[in-house]
Structure 1
Amino acid sequence: MARIDICICTFRRPFLVETLRSVARLDRGVHELRVIIADNDEVPSARERVEALRKKMGMPVTYVHAPAANICVARNACLEAADGDFVAFVDDDEVVSQGWLKALLEKAQAGGAAAVLGPVRAIYEPDAPEWMVEGDFHSTLPVFVGGEIRTGYTCNVLIRWVAPFRALRFNTALGRSGGEDTDFFYRLTGLGGKIDYAPEAVVEEPVPASRANMDWLTKRRLRFGQTHGMLLGGSPLKRLPVVMAKISYCCVMAGLTVFSPVSRRRNWLRAVLHMGVAGGILGLAQAEHYGQPAAS
């Protein structure tokens, strides 16, 4: 039997109720589950929603007020409150499948991984652009490099909460710009932790209208690239020529695929990603994306 703390950070998002209802429907097996909710708002705005569902959850619920409008403060509050064998993170705008946690745990126990990622499947509105639905630009999957996963994300993950990983915390300097999860998992693998993948551990995330556009996708890719570039290290003089070549290649490919709505946008977003990498290598400041009212 494993003890698992399911961590959910929230900031003014009513959808938290749907997330908690899906957690209450989990296939729990014989494991001991607890939910930790960290409210990142300046006032405890999520408390009433949590209290209204507490008796319906069927498992202990810990509510923590972690004000600062800084996602790392909330995530670290979850880790400080955690005392299980594993901690799982899921976002407050997602719905977990019934077998989600079971699939993550089975993969972790089978291979001894320090962390296991699951897929986040985007759910588009009926009026979402056709190219966006066809290209599925919002779903989240791990990136394999040489057959290995070197970093991860917190929208669907199980972490083995033992030493030395138990000492890890999220970098609050990245808590408004983003990239804190990438940084966290780079440090986890730096400690010798292996990251695995459980494709059956599905989480679904509705895509609101505010994110169903190229502007949002461009800003997201740019941020991803900046974080990666910031963490690369090494000499900028050696890194930049390679990155610039990748930018040029992706721009050329975007031109060659100009008549393909999906491929053209995909190639352009790859170019933007590498532009972000260049900015990260050069130490350019990242824009702040967190701390604003969340879309319902």
Structure 2
Amino acid sequence: MANDDRSAGEVVIAVLTYRRPGDISLALPRLAAQATTLAAGDRPPATVLVIDNDPAASAQAAVQDIAGTLGPGLVRYAHEPRPGIAAARNRALADAGTAALLAFIDDDEVPSEHWLAQLVELQQRTGAAAVVGPVISEYEHEPEPWIQAGRFFRRRRLATGTPLTVAATNNLLLDLDQVRALGLSFDERFGLSGGSDTLFTRQLVQRGGSMLWCDEAVVVDRVPASRLTRGWVLRRALRSGNSAARVNLELAAAAAPRLAAARASSLAAGSLRLLGGAARLGAGLLTGSTAHQAMGLRTAARGLGMASAAFGYVYSEYRRK
């Protein structure tokens, strides 16, 4: 169970942003409302921390203008000029200071009414090192049938309290005392490729921390038209496979025999996915099945990402010009 002394500590909502002034302007009032609602009940005080990952600090003026309308001390701004989302996540860990809990949410997500309160309640009731909530996609326009058939935006839903071994930071609450005790931070080698949250949460569980699902703490991901293309969803599948395999290799890197086995496993698993996906694509072309075509290509792209990681290839989805 959670420590009663700690339960009174501050909660920080961390929202990372990079050159999306419209999104952060929409997000801040919603997140400030979450913080205010939490503090109004018999719960810890909460604040919002914006991490601007643009070297030009492009969000600063907008954040400070909005913060001035939301009440003193409710919103803080921090500039992290080092490129990569892992650096921004680490800045959030550092700037949370002595807070008890840190909640990560994306700047293009909309939290449900009691999102933060539900994450905090489950953490305080169980003493979990991390609590994870679901992400539901809403689209700027309806995806084409091929993307729908491929289930590219389908995410998991689980019963509240289900233990997890891996999670993303798009809806994640961390107990900072436990994070510090476990010696965790985000690996900045994954900053431009993605996957630092996968590695972080897997290490959290491997080092003895518990991570639980909270199905009521929903956030809605607003998917722009630029991501509703076949090229984008297939590149994301490739990147997901590549970063997942790289995380496996990193976790095995402490011992040379384990690393060699991990490389062989990534190559074998990736090759099987690549071949299986190609076979499913072929079956879809023969039968006219859109689902088999889309899911076959999705499987093949993920397999290619996994197999290429075994040879040291890094797909940097977030690389900057």
Whether 1:79 and 2:93 are equivalent positions in the alignment is yes
In structure 2, the residue matched to 1:50 is 63
In structure 2, the residue matched to 1:11 is 18
Q: Deviations over 1:118-149 (max 9, x none)?
A: 111111123532343566523544799xx852
Per-residue deviation, 1:263:
4.2
Whether 1:175 and 2:175 are equivalent positions in the alignment is no
Per-residue deviation, 1:49:
1.2
Q: What SS is found at the alignment partner of 1:123?
A: strand
Which structure 2 residues correspond to residues 191-230 of structure 1 after superposition, within 5 A?
191-230=207-246
Identity %: 31
In structure 1, the residue matched to 2:282 is 255
Amino acid paired to 1:106:
E
Contact 2:109 2:221 in 1 (8 A): yes
Per-residue deviation, 1:225:
1.0
In structure 2, the residue matched to 1:91 is 106
In structure 2, the residue matched to 1:185 is 201
> Quick check: which has more Rg, 1 or 2?
2
| Structure with the largest fraction of helix | 2
Q: Deviations over 1:47-86 (max 9, x none)?
A: 1111122144356222111112322221111110112111
In structure 1, the residue matched to 2:5 is none
Q: Provide closer, same or farther for how the CA distance between residues 288 and 122 of structure 1 changes in structure 2, counting only shifts above 3 A.
A: closer
In structure 2, the residue matched to 1:70 is 84
Task: Work out the CA distance in 2 between the residues paired with 1:118 and 1:135.
Answer: 23
- TM-score when scaled to structure 2? 0.82
- TM-score when scaled to structure 1? 0.88
- Structure 2 stretches of 5 or more lacking a match? 1-7, 253-257
**33-42 or 48-57, which deviates more:** 48-57
**244-253 or 6-15, which deviates more:** 244-253
Q: Deviations over 1:13-72 (max 9, x none)?
A: 021111112112324133210111111111221111111221443562221111123222
Q: Provide closer, same or farther for how the CA distance between residues 278 and 20 of structure 1 changes in structure 2, counting only shifts above 3 A.
A: same
Q: What SS is found at the alignment partner of 1:204?
A: strand
Q: Deviations over 1:210-269 (max 9, x none)?
A: 111121111111111112212223323355334322332232223334433344312321
In structure 2, the residue matched to 1:159 is 174
Amino acid paired to 1:17:
S
- Equivalent residue for 1:244, pick from 234, 248, 271: 271
Task: Work out the CA distance in 1 between the residues paired with 2:155 and 2:27.
Answer: 17
Q: Provide closer, same or farther for how the CA distance between residues 179 and 164 of structure 1 changes in structure 2, counting only shifts above 3 A.
A: closer
Whether 1:33 and 2:46 are equivalent positions in the alignment is yes
Which structure 2 residues correspond to residues 114-129 of structure 1 after superposition, within 5 A?
114-129=129-144
Task: Work out the CA distance in 2 between the residues paired with 1:186 and 1:142.
Answer: 19
Per-residue deviation, 1:2:
4.5
Task: Work out the CA distance in 2 between the residues paired with 1:4 and 1:148.
Answer: 22
Per-residue deviation, 1:101:
0.8
In structure 2, the residue matched to 1:105 is 120
Q: Provide closer, same or farther for how the CA distance between residues 245 and 211 of structure 1 changes in structure 2, counting only shifts above 3 A.
A: same
Task: Work out the CA distance in 2 between the residues paired with 1:67 and 1:239.
Answer: 34
Task: Work out the CA distance in 1 between the residues paired with 2:283 and 2:239.
Answer: 26
Task: Work out the CA distance in 2 between the residues paired with 1:262 and 1:207.
Answer: 21
Per-residue deviation, 1:288:
4.4
Task: Work out the CA distance in 2 between the residues paired with 1:153 and 1:142.
Answer: 14
In structure 2, the residue matched to 1:24 is 32
Task: Work out the CA distance in 1 between the residues paired with 2:269 and 2:190.
Answer: 26
Kindly tell me the number of residue pairs found equivalent between the two proteins.
290
